[in-house]
Amino acid sequence: MLGRIQAGRFAALLLIIVFGLTLRRFGYAAGLPFFLVKYGGSLLWGSMVYVLLALAVTALTARMPPAGIAVLALAVAICVEFFRLYHTPGLDAFRLTTAGALLLGRVFSPWNILAYAIGIAAAYAFDPAHRPSSPERR
């Protein structure tokens, strides 16, 4: 059963990444409002952090419950957001690249933390290991 859960998480990770990149790349051109593109992308980024951590933690040790993974994901997301307040020439140059903007972002925003929290909560809610019917519930 754990293999099926990990496969589902990996499929979810791929979908989240595709939706996030598509939203950021084509959202404005499709006429979507700024709020949806900006914070929808942040919500998906938070979901991605949860799923990545769930995959990694479960691969290393199956002892952390999904709620613990959600708390860890939120801590990582908050740290990344506050890391935006730290500036060096090299780091700022990386932030100007597409990869840097997608991974680290450019400007600190407390609203991003809220969007991350919502995305993490959604990923937690849909995590098959969290569902009460799952025999693998931890």
Q: What pTM was computed for the model?
A: 0.86
The answer to whether residue 137 is domain-embedded is no
Which residue type is seen at 89?
P
In a domain, 131, yes or no: no
Q: What is the pLDDT of residue 132?
A: 59
Domain count, the chain: 1
Torsion angle, alpha carbons of 111, 113, 119, 121, to 10: -120
**Within a domain: 77:** yes
Q: Is residue 121 part of a domain?
A: yes
Q: What's the domain range around 60?
A: 2-126
- DSSP H helical segments within the chain, as ranges? 2-26, 34-60, 66-83, 89-95, 98-103, 110-126
Closest by CA to 54, choosing from 131, 133, 127, is: 127
User: Tens-of-pLDDT digits for all 138 residues of the chain?
Assistant: 568 888 999 999 999 999 999 998 999 999 999 999 989 999 999 999 999 999 999 888 778 899 999 999 999 999 999 999 999 999 999 999 988 887 888 889 999 999 999 999 999 999 988 765 545 544
In a domain, 134, yes or no: no
